[in-house]
Amino acid sequence: MNIEDKNLVAQQYIPVPINYPPGTRVQNSNLPPVQSQPTTPLTRPNANTILGRGGINGSNFFRFIKLANPAINDAYLAQVINAYINYAPLLGINSDAALSQAILETGSFSFKGDVKPYQNNFAGIGATGGGNPGESFSSIEHGAIAHMLHLRAYCGFWPPAGYEPSMAQRTRFILGAGLSTIKNPRAPNRLIPDLSGKWATDPNYAKKIRDVMNSVIRS
């Protein structure tokens, strides 16, 4: 692990329970409490980065997703949000970017495309269209981690120690093929705009992620 990689290790934050809207039915997901963070404007320095610390409170994500997808199970949604916000700091990933991308990829977790909910594939990893459902992961937590490890790979980093088993096959290919080295034009892609034309062919892909982030902050 090089010095830059070590700097991605998360700082310790004070655990604070997520503030869900009154009346929300949330079951214990057996995860540590969400690292609740204050909502901050998108003008903050790391708002456009894939790496770093997120700043949007989990309750904002909860309200936004429920508005877009009222049929989603509350306990399921809470577990997804917990997984991203808890593990993102440990993986050095901006949770705002990762969750916003997951919302975009899954249609607010409605899964109306080739990828189905039981796959726990929140980023369409390996789903290339034409009915190909892509990869599957054994739990919500493993799916969220696999997504964020894939983002790390696009930024030019291998997983932190202990997280290798959660890597997607596609992530292993990218790293093994050297596609995430600074010598390759595909990487390091450490800003959200770098994902356009690389993670997805849509030239407006990054803008759509940022649009989701803006909408979540306003929710």
Q: pTM for the complete prediction?
A: 0.75
pLDDT mean over 198-207: 84
d(CA 74, CA 25): 6
**pLDDT given at position 126:** 85
CB atoms within 10 A of CB 142: 16
Confidence of residue 110 (pLDDT cuts 50, 70, 90): very high
pLDDT mean over 42-53: 64
pLDDT mean over 56-60: 91
d(CA 42, CA 97): 11
**pLDDT given at position 1:** 31
b/e string for 86-104 if b means 16 or more Cβ within 10 A?
Answer: bbbbebbbbbbbbbbbbbb
Q: Is the pLDDT of residue 146 over 60?
A: yes
**pLDDT given at position 177:** 66
d(CA 126, CA 33): 31
Q: Is the pLDDT of residue 9 over 70?
A: no
* CB-based contact 98:56 (threshold 8 Å): no
Domain 3-8+32-218 class?
Answer: mainly alpha
User: For 164-181, how does the pLDDT look when each residue is reduced to its tens digit (9 = 90+)?
Assistant: 888 898 888 888 766 554
User: For 83-106, how does the pLDDT look when each residue is reduced to its tens digit (9 = 90+)?
Assistant: 999 999 999 999 999 999 999 999
Q: Is the pLDDT of residue 189 over 70?
A: no
d(CA 175, CA 158): 7
**pLDDT given at position 48:** 78
Average model confidence (pLDDT) across the chain:
75
List the domain boundaries for the chain: 3-8+32-218
pLDDT mean over 155-159: 85
Token pair for residue 66?
A: 């429920």
